[in-house]
Chains A and B, each alone.
Chain A
Amino acid sequence: MVDSLFPSIENTGDDDASPESSRKKRRISETSKEAETEARRTNEESLKRWRTNRVQQIYSCKLVEALRRVRQRSNDAGKVSGAAREIRETADRVLAASARGTTRWSRAIIATRVRARLKKHRKAKSTGNIKSRKATTETKRIKLPAVERKLKILGRLVPGCRKVSVPNLLDEATDYIAALEMQVRAMEALAEILATAAPRTTLTGP
């Protein structure tokens, strides 16, 4: 029933949006079975976290707020493409804020904005990027095994997770994917509302 909130987006997965799960204790010992149950527990918590009614409402509320402010700011600029980028960054920031700082990627998203602001001041001084790309300096290096290469790519995709250990990277990726899905659903719903509402106002407006 709660998924009816965002039905315009396809219902990804069969999970029902459940009420927020209670925190469970973690055991110290880890056998093969226990490692799996522990990982499953944390991941199910994170998955359900991004599907609850409350999270969706918090996100859509903050999104609308932020979009208003963006609109006010970009009204002066007047570009559409620039506005798109701003909107995306705003949406990402709102998403990261909804994560409440528990995940690495959310902290990285919030931090990049701060760093971008700092860089703006320093752009006059430094011309190029000093640490642009260290990864491919050694051309004679043998190609890493395929899995590790892909893990690196995944690390680059998830914000702030380039040098994170493999199990943590997988955890972060899980949470990030769940959050992205929620973001897509919310933004699409919002776009739907605005798209359907907008022409009516033009027709019936003053």
Chain B
Amino acid sequence: MDLTGGFGARSGGGGPCREATGLDSLHIGEEFRQLVTLPPENAGSFTALLELPPTQAVELLHFTDTSSSQAAVTGIGGDIAPPPPLHSFGTLTFPSNPVLMERAARFSVIATEQQNGNVSGETTTSSVPSNSSANLDRVKTEPAETESSQRLTSDQAVENQSPSPSQNNRSGKRKEFEKKVKSSTKKNKSSEENEKLPYVHVRARRGQATDSHSLAERARREKINARMKLLQELVPGCDKIQGTALVLDEIINHVQSLQRQVEMLSMRLAAVNPRIDFSLDTILASENGSLMDGSFNGTAMQLAWPHQVIETEQSYHHRQLQPPPPPQPQQWPYDGLNQPAWGREEDQDHGNDHNNLMAVSENLMVGSANLHPNQVKMEL
């Protein structure tokens, strides 16, 4: 009875005394004690601290020097010090201040210590400073860790008589505070810390909503916009158009025009098609005819006759057809694609393949052309 009453009194009302003793046992610095004992109007319960408005929490986190942190400490209870200018992401030196780290960590640690015995609290606090290396994501994980550790220790703890409603109250308030910490830190996270975490992070810019829905929406929109930009670059004449709908119109028109061009070309090829077999071989012959003139244009090679077909057909036509003597005029729109250049630009095996093709074709047409076999072999 007595014990329970005592416990209830301690955990319920006697906040400052117990906290002070707890703090003393933890050897916390002056400023933290001030912080804890500052709000007298709230009966000094720890939960008052947890009800800090987010701006002040952000202030705490943003303070980079101890002097300003002192100001924050004094400002929490009554006057609110003018918030320091929130630095841009890159200059946030939050992790460099171990005091703030410890303070932020110990907000949750104190709560754990309240619920459990000193022993478990001490173990957690001893683990916390070791964790507080200058890493922002550790801050995120620390509250989670301490929460989880607190849950563990609360399970293991021997009959802590703290009444359950106040316990839930405290854990709820703590989660709220941590969520505020998290949301504020998420705003100013730097990019390299994203990569340390295993899950996907989307950066929320300053001044934008940070709930999960709008974040996901923003990520999705950014993906789509990136792809639209690429399509704009691909389709000619889309750069100047503003607005997704018009750009999509242009893209659709372009695709339709390309498909119609393919149809037209296929009709043209169909018209020419009956002569395809005949023409192609004569083309090859004429190609080698132009080879005689010394200006090799890689037209035939550009068409890249398949190896086997060449052999059969070449031998056939070699016997039957005489290659037309006239040299190719400049109607061949292709520049002289040199064999070395061609071989250079391709992969090794493919280059060899085509070299063989050329060699084959040249060898087969040797009889009909004035090409010296020596010359051919040299080009190999």
Contact = CB atoms under 8 A, between A and B. Distances in A.
Contact of B306 (A27, A61, A146, A201): A61
Could you say which interface size class chain B belongs to?
Answer: 35 or more
A39 to B, nearest CB: 4
Contacts of B303: 60-61, 64, 190, 193
B227 A43 contact: yes
A155 B219 CA distance: 22
Given A43-B230, A191-B269, A201-B282, A12 B236 contact: yes
Contacts of A116: none
A32 B275 CA distance: 56
Interface string B141-163: 00000000000000000000000
A196 to B, nearest CB: 6
B273 A83 contact: yes
B224 A166 contact: yes
A98 interface: no
B350 A87 contact: no
A173 B231 contact: yes
Contacts of B302: 5, 56-57, 60, 189
B276 A68 contact: yes
A13 B337 CA distance: 22
A124 to B, nearest CB: 29
A44 B268 CA distance: 32
Interface stretch (A107-115, A133-141, A178-186): A178-186
Contacts, number: 228
For the residues of B in contact with A, the DSSP-based class is helix
Interface string B241-271: 0001100110110111011011101111111
A67 B278 CA distance: 13
Contact of B219 (A7, A35, A39): A35
Given A4-B335, A71-B276, A167-B223, A184 B258 contact: yes
Contact of B234 (A7, A47, A75, A87): A47
B333 interface: yes
Interface residues of A, number: 87
Given A29-B200, A53-B346, A180 B259 contact: yes
B272 interface: yes
27 contacts: A13-B233, A28-B195, A29-B200, A29-B201, A31-B203, A32-B203, A35-B223, A39-B226, A43-B234, A57-B354, A64-B306, A80-B270, A87-B269, A87-B273, A150-B249, A167-B220, A171-B227, A174-B230, A177-B231, A184-B262, A187-B266, A187-B269, A190-B269, A191-B265, A194-B269, A202-B275, A206-B321
Interface of B: 191, 194-195, 198, 200-203, 205, 218-220, 222-231, 233-236, 244-245, 248-249, 251-252, 254-256, 258-259, 261-263, 265-280, 282-283, 286, 299, 301-306, 309, 321, 324, 331, 333-335, 337, 341-342, 345-347, 350, 354
Please provide the 7 A-B residue pairs with the shortest distance between their CB atoms, ordered closest to farther: A61-B304, A88-B266, A170-B227, A39-B226, A36-B226, A150-B248, A83-B270
